[in-house]
Homo-oligomer: A and B are copies of this chain.
Amino acid sequence: MMNYIKIKKKGQIPQPALARLCKMYNLMEELEEKRESSISSQDIGKRLGVGSHNIRKDIGFLGETGTSGSGYEIAKLKSNIEKKLGFARQRSACIIGLGSLGSVIMNYQDLPFPCFSIVAGFDSNINKLETIQTTIPVYPTYEIQSVIQRDNIELAVITEPDRNIEKITERLIEGGIKGIINFTPVILSSDLESVYIRNIDIMTEFRYVSALFTLHNQ
């Protein structure tokens, strides 16, 4: 059989590298505020808790090259990550579930460098809709589809367990959502390639740490 040379799709960044680049971006923001001008791969690694080789490889995926002898120029590195990863453009997001976690996340948008702006909230509890104090408009969940389409919302953050979470997800997808961050214990999934779903269960995170304790100390 013939041999084909396998070429990794151009621009394809491995997921762990991508995750590190996101952290690196945060770090660059921080350093920029502190008026630092450059940093070495070793220092970045130390701050992020990974090896310097790793950092250099990751930055390599950006196409960016630093300067031997003096490391990476912070402003340039930041803007390169921004460009490559699309942080420059601000995206619209909505919150599903107006409970306490919902408000925590809404408050996050006050950060100096947001990459999402939260433009709508939804809850199936009509009482809550009537009593809640927010700066963004809130709607009942049955309006999800129409509001998403009207306001061009790309990301949904589900913050509260709800009996009808499957139904809600369906509405989100029908509305054309591109991503869902799900903080609910229910594990969501979609067959559609076009929707990225990230499940984050805080309880599971706790369990994971607990498990690491046990395995470590036994």
Contact = CB atoms under 8 A, between A and B. Distances in A.
A108 interface: yes
Contacts of A86: 210-211, 213-215, 218
Contacts of A18: 208, 211-212, 215
Interface stretch (A19-27, A120-128, A132-140, A166-174): A19-27
Contacts of A206: 93, 108, 115-116, 155, 181
A56 interface: no
A178 interface: yes
Nearest to A211: B85
Nearest to A178: B213
B209 A196 contact: yes
Given A11-B215, A23-B187, A216-B196, A87 B210 contact: yes
A79 to B, nearest CB: 15
Given A13-B215, A23-B201, 14 more contacts: A22-B208, A26-B204, A26-B207, A30-B185, A47-B187, A49-B199, A86-B214, A93-B206, A101-B101, A115-B206, A155-B213, A178-B213, A179-B213, A198-B208
